[in-house]
């Protein structure tokens, strides 16, 4: 394209004004990527906040439903998927991650919001926190009630998410999750209640709050993320298959063997207590480790604490990995990304301590 020659100062300032207006220089440019979930849900009865169909309302209607959104940002939407999030697959994660990375490279994009079902929102948030090499704010948001219900929470949650994504103070904090007036790191946050608006908690607490469109920060993430990550979404075309088996009284090795038979490269043990493994299961895990399957001990006990290496099990002797404070579903995400780079147990353990 031939360079534009500016013949006068007047022409230069006119061009600047035109460009500024076109790209919304007075307001941050935020792109909303919609994937479905309850925030896009619809029900037949205003009194029923838990009976509805998820993934019905398109992104343009979500944006149109918040007229004051233009006060905080220049917003445009893309409908990436329209699904309930329990149906997310590794392929959905990869497609979404690559789209976010491409948008983050665009100079006319200041922040990105992802609307998402709450069931697996925490998994997507941690995944993007691991693989996006950007400092730009990426904020994931959902809702616990459909827009058709009384006291629906999606409208304010989405408004808040756009405000956080458009704020320069949000940069460099990794992937963020905002619901119920709180701002969480995508690494820690998890869904703890299935039918209340106060559903998401972080074992180590939120990073801040968002009130009347303004973010108030109280702490920063402690683990590696985004710009500091060794993983790169643009270098990943397939995530490793990893499955989770729950620990409980009377447990048997059946599930672990079946998952390994199905091609799992790692098994996450959602153990009792400190990631304990039943005597009835240990021999099978040792055998599977001997066949090259990675064994990663997490815990079914969540909400603060972590699985200690060589405490409940001789991890060094068995060549197993501990998931540290990551719950089983988060441990699966990190294992599926980590195994794209290494199969070495020591390297995997380093990654579980650093991310």
**Cβ 119 to ligand DGL shortest distance, Å:** 3
Binding of residue 111 to ligand DGL (CB under 6 A): no
Binding of residue 122 to ligand DGL (CB under 6 A): no
Q: Which of 29, 49, 74, 85 contacts ligand DGL by CB under 6 A?
A: 85
Q: Is 258 helix (H, G, I), strand (E, B) or coil?
A: helix
**Closest residue to ligand DGL: CB criterion:** 117
Choices 8-16, 71-79, 111-119, 203-211; region in contact with ligand DGL by CB under 6 A: 111-119
Do 73 and 35 meet the contact criterion of CB atoms below 8 Å apart?
A: no
Binding of residue 253 to ligand DGL (CB under 6 A): no
Which residue, 118 or 272, has its beta carbon nearer to ligand DGL? 118
Q: Which two tokens stand for residue 341?
A: 């780079």
Q: Which of 84, 244, 334, 339 contacts ligand DGL by CB under 6 A?
A: 84
Size of the site for ligand DGL (CB under 6 A): 11
CA separation for the pair 354, 336 (Å, rounded): 16
Choices 56-64, 78-86, 162-170, 313-321; region in contact with ligand DGL by CB under 6 A: 78-86
Q: Transcribe 80-133 into DSSP letters.
A: EEEE-GGG--HHHHHHHHHHHHHHHH-TT--EEEEE--SSSHHHHHHHHHHH--
Binding of residue 54 to ligand DGL (CB under 6 A): yes
**Cβ 142 to ligand DGL shortest distance, Å:** 5
Which residue, 36 or 221, has its beta carbon nearer to ligand DGL? 36
Do 140 and 124 meet the contact criterion of CB atoms below 8 Å apart?
A: yes
**Residue 134 vs residues 96, 174, 184, 225: alpha-carbon distances, Å:** 15, 8, 18, 9
Which residue, 200 or 352, has its beta carbon nearer to ligand DGL? 200
Tell me, rounded to whole angstroms, the distance of Cα 300 from its chain centroid. Answer: 20
**Cβ 177 to ligand DGL shortest distance, Å:** 13
**Residue 128 vs residues 229, 282, 314, 337: alpha-carbon distances, Å:** 11, 33, 32, 10
Do 175 and 186 meet the contact criterion of CB atoms below 8 Å apart?
A: yes
Q: How many CB atoms lie within 10 A of CB 133?
A: 17
Q: Which of 216, 84, 121, 110 is nearest to 162 (CA)?
A: 110
Question: What's the length of the chain?
Answer: 355
Do 40 and 123 meet the contact criterion of CB atoms below 8 Å apart?
A: no
Task: Tell me, residue by residue from 130 to 159, as one string, x for binding to ligand DGL by CB under 6 A and - for no binding.
Answer: ------------x-x---------------
What residues are labeled active site?
A: 38
Choices 83-91, 133-141, 223-231, 277-285; region in contact with ligand DGL by CB under 6 A: 83-91
Binding of residue 38 to ligand DGL (CB under 6 A): yes
Binding of residue 124 to ligand DGL (CB under 6 A): no
Tell me, rounded to whole angstroms, the distance of Cα 292 from its chain centroid. Answer: 29
Half-sphere exposure of 75 (CA within 13 A, CB side): 29
**Cβ 39 to ligand DGL shortest distance, Å:** 6
Q: Which of 93, 85, 71, 80 is nearest to 31 (CA)?
A: 80
Binding of residue 206 to ligand DGL (CB under 6 A): no
Binding of residue 86 to ligand DGL (CB under 6 A): yes
**Cβ 158 to ligand DGL shortest distance, Å:** 13
Q: Which two tokens stand for residue 299?
A: 């815990």
Binding of residue 37 to ligand DGL (CB under 6 A): yes
Contact set with ligand DGL (CB under 6 A): 37-38, 54, 84-86, 117-119, 142, 144
């Amino acid at each position: 394209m031939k360079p534009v020659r500016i013949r006068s100062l007047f022409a230069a300032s006119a061009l600047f004004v035109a460009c500024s207006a076109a790209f919304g220089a007075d307001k941050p440019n935020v792109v909303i990527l919609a994937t479905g979930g309850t925030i896009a849900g619809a029900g037949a009865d205003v009194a029923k906040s838990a009976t509805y169909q998820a993934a019905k309302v398109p992104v343009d209607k979500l944006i149109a439903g918040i007229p004051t959104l233009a006060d905080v940002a220049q917003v445009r939407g893309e409908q990436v998927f329209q699904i309930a999030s329990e149906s997310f697959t590794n392929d959905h994660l990869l497609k979404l991650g690559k789209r976010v990375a491409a948008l983050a490279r665009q100079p006319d994009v200041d922040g990105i919001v992802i609307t998402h079902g709450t069931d697996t929102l925490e998994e997507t948030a941690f995944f993007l926190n691991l693989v996006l090499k950007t400092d730009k704010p990426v904020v994931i948001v959902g809702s616990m009630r459909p827009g058709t219900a009384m006291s629906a929470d999606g409208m304010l949650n989405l408004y808040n998410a756009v405000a956080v994504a458009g704020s320069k103070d949000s940069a460099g904090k990794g992937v963020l999750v905002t619901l119920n007036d709180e701002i969480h790191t995508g690494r820690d946050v998890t869904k703890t209640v299935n039918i209340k608006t106060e559903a998401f908690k972080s074992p180590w607490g939120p990073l801040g709050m968002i009130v009347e469109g303004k973010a108030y920060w109280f702490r920063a993430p402690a683990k590696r993320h985004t710009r500091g990550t060794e993983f790169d979404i643009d270098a990943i075309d397939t995530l490793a298959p990893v499955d989770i088996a729950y620990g409980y009284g009377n447990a048997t090795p059946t599930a672990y063997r079946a998952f390994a038979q199905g091609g799992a490269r790692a098994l996450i043990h959602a153990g009792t207590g400190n990631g304990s493994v039943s005597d009835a299961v240990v021999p099978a895990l040792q055998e599977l480790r001997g066949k090259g399957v990675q064994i990663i001990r997490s815990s079914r006990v969540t909400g603060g604490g972590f699985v200690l290496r060589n405490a409940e099990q001789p991890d060094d002797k068995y060549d197993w990995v501990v998931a540290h404070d990551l719950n089983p579903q988060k441990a699966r995400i990190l294992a599926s990304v980590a195994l794209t780079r290494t199969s070495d147990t020591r390297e995997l353990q380093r990654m579980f301590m650093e991310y």
